[in-house]
Amino acid sequence: MVVGGSLAGLLAARVLSEHAERVTVVERDRFPEGPDPRPGVPQGRHLHVLIEGGQRALDRLLPGFVDELRALGAPRVGMPEDMVQWQNGQWFPRTDPMVHFYSGPRSQIDWLARKRVFADPRIERIEGTEVTGLIGDSTRVRGVLLRERGAGGGGGTGESTGEGGRSGREPRRLEADLVVDASGRSSKAADWLAGIGAEAPHEETLDTGLGYATRVFRSPVGDSTTDALGIYVVPGPTQTYAGVVLPLGDGRHLVTLSGVRGDMPSTDEEAFETYARKLPHPVVADWISRAEPLSPVHGFRQTANIRRRYDRPGRRPAGFLATGDALTCFNPIYGQGMAVAALSALALRDALGDRKRVPTTERVQKALFEASRQAWDISAGADRKMPGATGNAVRGKPLDKATGWYMRRVQDLTPTHPAVGAAFRAAVALTGPLSGLFAPSVARAVLFAPVPERLTAPPMHRSEH
């Protein structure tokens, strides 16, 4: 069974259905009928992008998924051609696209996945119900304890009116050969494991204190100021404000502004455009001033990178796995979460289908960990350099100084050097390894190529570079 009907949970259920007679997904929320946001996706009203690594993985898990997404009108954005982008003090030339991402609403992707996954008769769902603990002991998990959401109780149990109308504080039992925790960033697995005498995983954390605010706008009618699909001002160690404008479809755009602790954007509607003026260029604020607001301003603050080290030795039971944000969650500003959910499901499929090795809990969990490693290295590696970052994962490695110089050179050359740009974008899109940044053609450019003259103004039209 799977705890959580998130994208990670749905895709895990899809994979498990190939190996089980029945898979049950337990979800605290009630799923909406259509592509609407739900409370259990706390960032559902904020910016989400489906990068190429996630697209490829989803198409392998649910063939034709990306075509369905495109048919629903999800905008496809090519980088760098379709974006006006500022980063590290320079504007990016809008050359031919090297990678693409989809920028439609998150709820649209979740809805498509739900339709596909729950069409399988082997996959059942229990909605409006929460897991309160595990059945089993420190050697093996044999199921979960359930209660209807909001029914009674403190502690680890609560009232239930399931099974013959029984009520009271006794939780309902759901036995399972395997329990997969896909309950997200706020997973209670540490408490569940302690409840059966097992050991919780060590947590690595890295928090920049980033917070953001988001509002939906209708794009300016007849706007000829740009032919780009979006705008992105990227933050960094010396400039911590960020702003992004991305299309949702049907003439709507989502605008997100962010800053770090001590100076984060509020949800005050009048202050939204004013905050955008803090960016190093007025391009985002000017766009907002011409657009029509369509929604309130929504805020979000839970942006720490958290990695739960189930891959390390410990007194943990067989029959319990963690995936998605319940295993590793990232600063959402890097747009990796949905892609990692899909890549983790592929790792689960490969590990369970490996005929040469027995898919022990330990072996499968390590495969899930490896599926999220590159995204963690990117997100945590960048956030480690941000001023005021806190957490036990802030401290770097002895080679970080040299690596930092190298990566700054990579970023300086990415806008204009084909080999460097291709390797960097592939790594960020999770379609190529980070080791590609050290390939001979890239390393030669990083060490010896001159940095070309930078654009002094934003390329608002494709021809301006």
Q: Are both 21 and 159 inside the same structural domain?
A: yes
Q: Tens digit of pLDDT per residue, the chain (465 long)?
A: 999 999 999 999 999 999 999 999 999 999 999 888 887 776 767 889 999 999 999 999 999 999 999 999 999 999 999 999 999 889 999 999 999 999 999 999 999 999 999 999 999 999 999 999 999 999 999 999 999 987 654 444 333 333 334 444 678 999 999 999 999 999 999 999 999 999 999 999 999 999 999 999 999 887 889 999 999 999 999 999 999 999 999 999 999 999 999 899 999 999 999 999 999 999 999 999 999 999 999 999 989 999 999 999 999 999 999 999 999 999 999 999 999 999 999 999 999 999 899 999 999 999 999 999 999 999 999 999 999 999 999 987 777 788 889 999 999 999 999 999 999 999 999 999 999 999 999 999 999 999 888 888 999 999 776
Q: Is residue 94 part of a domain?
A: no
CA torsion angle for 120, 126, 131, 135 (degrees, to 10)?
A: -70
Q: Is residue 52 part of a domain?
A: no
Q: Is residue 46 part of a domain?
A: no
Q: Are both 257 and 123 inside the same structural domain?
A: no
Q: Which residues contact 249 (CB under 8 A, 6 or more apart)?
A: 72, 73, 74, 75, 104
The pLDDT score that the predictor gives to residue 85 is 97
CA–CA gap between residue 266 and residue 298 (Å, rounded): 9
Q: Is residue 153 part of a domain?
A: yes
Q: Is residue 39 part of a domain?
A: no
Q: Are both 296 and 309 inside the same structural domain?
A: no
Q: Are both 25 and 133 inside the same structural domain?
A: yes
Q: Is residue 36 part of a domain?
A: no
Q: Are both 185 and 313 inside the same structural domain?
A: yes
Q: Is residue 163 part of a domain?
A: yes
Which residue range(s) make up the domain with 26?
2-31+117-205+304-381
Q: Determine contact, residues 427/300, Cβ cutoff 8 Å.
A: no
Q: Are both 133 and 196 inside the same structural domain?
A: yes
The pLDDT score that the predictor gives to residue 152 is 54
- Residue 427 phi/psi, 5-degree rounding, is -65, -45
Q: Are both 199 and 264 inside the same structural domain?
A: no
The pLDDT score that the predictor gives to residue 91 is 95
Q: Are both 151 and 190 inside the same structural domain?
A: yes
What is the distance in angstroms between the CA of the first residue and the CA of the last residue of the chain?
53
Q: Are both 325 and 227 inside the same structural domain?
A: no
Q: Smallest Cα–Cα separation from 316: which of 203, 204, 189, 205? A: 189
Q: Are both 308 and 377 inside the same structural domain?
A: yes
Q: Smallest Cα–Cα separation from 343: which of 246, 433, 247? A: 433
* Domain stop point among 349, 381, 413: 381
Domain count across the chain: 3
Q: What is the CATH number of the domain that holds 25?
A: 3.50.50.60
Q: Is residue 172 part of a domain?
A: yes
